[in-house]
Amino acid sequence: MIRNKRGLLFVLIAVAAVTFIACDDDSEPVPLEELSCKVEGVKWNATKSLTAEMNNGVVILTGVNNNNDTLRLLIQDHEPGIHPVKNIQNIIVYKSQDITYLPLNSAEASLIVVDHDVVAKYIWGGFFYTGISGTGDRVEISDGVFRFFYK
Where is pLDDT greater, at 13 or 48?
48
Q: What's the rounded Cα separation, in Å, for the pair 37 and 59? A: 18
Q: What is the torsional sign of CA 146, 98, 109, 6?
A: negative
Residue 86: what pLDDT?
86
Cα–Cα distances (Å) from 121 to 87, 90, 139, in that order, read 25, 18, 31
| 29-52 residue pLDDT tens | 666 899 999 999 999 999 999 999
Within 10 angstroms of residue 53's Cβ, the number of other Cβ atoms is: 12
* Residue ranges of domains in the chain: 2-149
Q: Once rounded to an integer, what is the mean pLDDT over residues 18-30?
A: 51
Is 61 in a helix, a strand, or coil?
strand
Residue 5: what pLDDT?
52
Is 92 in a helix, a strand, or coil?
strand
Residue 138 neighbours by CB under 8 Å, 6+ apart? 101, 130, 131, 132
| 41-96 residue pLDDT tens | 999 999 999 999 999 999 999 999 999 999 999 999 999 999 999 878 899 999 99
The H-assigned helical ranges of 1-151 are 2-22
For the chain, counts of helices (H) and of strands (E):
1, 11
Residue 4: what pLDDT?
55
Q: What is the torsional sign of CA 99, 57, 86, 1?
A: positive
Confidence band of 105 (pLDDT split at 50, 70, 90): confident
Residue 6: what pLDDT?
54
| 107-135 residue pLDDT tens | 688 999 999 999 999 999 999 999 999 99
* Contact between 66 and 45 (Cβ < 8 Å): no
Question: Where does residue 74 rank: exposed (0-12), middle (13-18), buried (19+ CB within 10 A)?
Answer: middle
